[in-house]
Structure 1
């Protein structure tokens, strides 16, 4: 089944989806979702397999970086037409000091689209942990590590702020808008977490993580397209634990984002999370985040 052709409709759609293993997601029905939904651009995270096992996607050209850590990470961009250019941190090492340790891990890929003046990046930001002073043995899913995972994520966040600013400006110099999408493993506001008060002492919603998110956003930098379109109200959520009744009771987080340059953000008209109807229909512990934009023309550039 071929995804529907949306050319000439005056709009285009971008989906971000952490598949939590592309092979497992395809067994559960990812290809059927892709054919039915038919996004123009799809950013994937957590492929978690060798490049030879990612496979092909009917109707799409796939740019992939699976990384060097077996069974972990991996990002991809699916586009209707082969991109003009594709950059990973292997082919184009990050310039910001502090990202070198992550360059071969399959966490970032960006492409200059062939059919519109837009650069799209897919990011899988590292999971972290709690700082040492918040770690309590016996109350954590993972063994205490003295804050090592927390510090690792902090290093990434600090460096990535500089890197994404450079990439955004490079796109502007080339006459392109810039769109960063993916699983950022950070929820920004209280509307992005169901139980936000206790979450303030959890990885991904610590005050310093939310402050980092503030530094990425700005009227001259990047705009949280989902929050802008959805408004200052709870949701939409994109991740629910596999455990318990989280999915059924809609107790989750929004850690999947689309951050756009202001010119593109002004064109966003609709946000949808393709949450499955029942737990046994889930493709992943995340659900696809789909944003519809009015068609991007050269005169709409920032």
Structure 2
């Protein structure tokens, strides 16, 4: 049970390299592990682990010694992507990928069945490709088309998970801001990856199909709250961020939402990732 409040707390965080996240950055910033102890969610969904399982376990050793269970899938491309889950109890089942020949070996998606008050909840950790705007640059074309292929495959998988009737929540770094409320400078990003029309339409289709954007439903018609800010310039200080880290939940689970929040650092030098943890508490 979470130290923050009673219920079942699911936190998502893109750690931007787990080995870097756990390091002490300065006298006031001891890194990720003290945050994990203080926050004490029931499940932590990790993205961009960017390490082999052996190295990730070494980095997270204090947490694992304290009873956390780690399941993860690393990318076949060294130092790239990688997703996982930290849980307080061993999951009943773990499934890597979503049946994709192209993406299942790249550390993009993992899900597990965990118990909450005798009910099985499927929790999925997602790191969706960043993509690129479509230009004449071959590298941009490759990134644009990779993200499009991922969306084409993952959309039907999510639709099937919803149709299964299971209580489920898929969270992580979606690399898509759903609408104008989700980017501080949305006008300047209309032609950039993460806010392209077809990307937003893809998210809208999932919501129209029945998935619930928990934070948006909870916070209502307000800007953000953002959970990613560039390391560059004054983006963090000016709260010029993006809401690309969020939870999509099945309706029956979303109806049990008690609270959701972004655990934003108090100052730039206290950050241990360019993303902030986003948490949702579900009741029984």
TM-score, normalization: structure 1? 0.85
Q: Is it true that 1:153 corresponds to 2:161 in the alignment?
A: no
User: Partner of 1:298 in structure 2?
Assistant: none
In 2, the alpha carbon distance for the partners of 1:40 and 1:266 equals 19
Aligned partner of residue 114 in structure 1, secondary structure: strand
After superposition, the CA RMSD in angstroms is 1.6
Aligned length: 269
Q: Is it true that 1:236 corresponds to 2:244 in the alignment?
A: no
Unaligned runs of 5+ in 2: 25-30
Give how far 1:222 is off: 0.7
**Which of residues 49, 52, 56 is equivalent to 1:50?**
52
Matches within 5 A, 1:1-302: 5-6=1-2, 10-28=6-24, 29-55=31-57, 56=61, 57=63, 58-89=66-97, 94-95=98-99, 99-115=100-116, 116-132=119-135, 145=139, 147-170=141-164, 172=165, 176-218=166-208, 221-295=210-284
In 2, the alpha carbon distance for the partners of 1:124 and 1:190 equals 22
In 1, the alpha carbon distance for the partners of 2:276 and 2:107 equals 21
Unaligned runs of 5+ in 1: 136-142, 296-302
Aligned partner of residue 82 in structure 1, secondary structure: coil
Cα deviations by residue, 1:212-247 (Å, 9 ceiling, x for unpaired): 1111113x5210001000111101000000111101
The answer on whether the counterparts of 2:177 and 2:243 sit within 8 Å (CA) in structure 1 is yes
Q: 1:39 to 1:6 in 2, by over 3 A?
A: closer
The answer on whether the counterparts of 1:82 and 1:114 sit within 8 Å (CA) in structure 2 is no
Aligned partner of residue 237 in structure 2, secondary structure: helix
Give how far 1:147 is off: 1.8
